Amino acid sequence: MPDRLPLVLVVNDDEAMRNALQFALQLEGVEVHVHGEGADVLADRDLSRASCLILKDRMPRMDGFELLDCLQARDISLPAILLTSAATVRLRARAIAAGVQLVLEKPILDNALVDGVMTILGHQKHQTPEPLSRNP
């Protein structure tokens, strides 16, 4: 049986953003599961084989940091990319403490998100982003 594609989990309450991320990552040969809220990620039957998590900092019901806390409580550690509309110093410090690999401020410019995912997955097709960098 051939190797499975790397799996990226996307959690974002914006359906258009979920669909755009799924499309862009599938073009790179990545399997993507999209979810509208954190509880759906926790219930994903393939959570244990995920290689990366893309999440939003602010969402109804469970924000990105609460989701990371829930994963940590289950001893699940995934490289994460945090999407935010306000990348303050405080938010970046909180993200570092939560183990986030990359913080991207919206609007996301160029291929910063895909580049970040591919770097995390070990595919050096793209330029490597600086950890917790701002968009170029």
Q: 128: burial class by Cβ within 10 Å (0-12, 13-18, 19+)?
A: exposed
pLDDT of 127 strictly over 50: no
Q: 93 is written with which tokens?
A: 């410090």
Q: 82 is written with which tokens?
A: 């945090």
Supply the DSSP symbol for 129. P
pLDDT of 29 strictly over 90: yes
Confirm whether 114 is domain-assigned: yes
Q: How many domains does the chain have?
A: 1
* DSSP H or E segment with residue 45: none
- Rounded CA Rg of the chain: 14
Q: 18 is written with which tokens?
A: 């979920």
Per the DSSP assignment, residues forming a β-bridge with 56 are 83
Confirm whether 131 is domain-assigned: no
CATH code of the domain covering residue 55: 3.40.50.2300
Question: What mean pLDDT do residues 25-47 have?
Answer: 96
Confirm whether 125 is domain-assigned: no
Confirm whether 16 is domain-assigned: yes
Largest CA distance in the chain: 46
pLDDT of 44 strictly over 90: yes
Q: What is the pTM of this model?
A: 0.85
Q: Are 78 and 51 in contact (CB under 8 A)?
A: yes
Confirm whether 68 is domain-assigned: yes
Confirm whether 127 is domain-assigned: no
**pLDDT at residue number 128:** 39
Choice between 123 and 86, residue whose per-residue pLDDT is larger: 86
**pLDDT at residue number 1:** 42
pLDDT in tens, 99-122: 999 999 988 878 899 999 999 999
* DSSP H or E segment with residue 20: helix 15-27
Q: 98 is written with which tokens?
A: 């939560």
Confirm whether 69 is domain-assigned: yes
Confirm whether 105 is domain-assigned: yes
Q: Which residues span the domain enclosing 16?
A: 7-120
Q: Which amino acid is at 56?
A: K
Alpha carbon distances (Å) from 55 to 1, 4, 27, 102: 31, 23, 20, 11
